[in-house]
Amino acid sequence: MKRHMQYEHSRSGTFVCKSCNQQFDMEVKLMRHRKKVHSKRAISLPVFCEMCGKEYKSKAILKNHRLTHFEEKPFECEICGASFKQQSTLNTHRRVHNSEGKFRCNNCEMTFKWKHVYARHAKKCVGEG
């Protein structure tokens, strides 16, 4: 019983799922939730984006995808100021700054790790400076 109280109950007297923090008033409801949602046998129905119809395996992935439909780019690179719609894209971008690039812009001296990124930059940078 002591283990049960420590493992399942929060201080408010509710049962809390350790995977998603959803709260339940009864242990049986928590157990049903775990089996239905978090077990390896749980059958997850696909979810669809209401804007473009693309199919995703989870609501979390769909939520991340929805950001691509809006112009807002809340994730900004603290090094160069480039902004992105998704945190994962910013994380990928940051790798550009982590090592010396092989491709150097003759106009502004920036270096790039990937040729296609350098080529895109070079087209924009030619008219500047």
Each residue's pLDDT tens digit, 17-40: 887 778 888 888 888 888 877 776
Per-residue pLDDT averaged across 12-20, rounded? Answer: 76
- For the chain, the 3-state helix, strand and coil shares in percent, each to the nearest 5, are 40, 15, 45
Task: For residue 84, give both structure tokens.
Answer: 């992105």
Per-residue pLDDT averaged across 77-92, rounded? Answer: 84
The per-residue pLDDT for 129 is: 46
Question: Is the model's pLDDT at 100 over the cut of 50?
Answer: yes
Cα torsion 6, 7, 11, 15: sign:
negative
User: Alpha-carbon distance 21 to 13, whole Å?
Assistant: 14
The reply to whether the predicted model has a pTM over 0.85 is no
Cα torsion 33, 39, 45, 49: sign:
positive
Q: How many other CB atoms are there within 10 angstroms of residue 107's CB atom?
A: 14
User: Which region, left, alpha or beta, applies to residue 112 given φ > 0 means left and ψ of -120 to 50 means alpha?
Assistant: beta
**pLDDT band for position 13 (cuts 50, 70, 90):** low
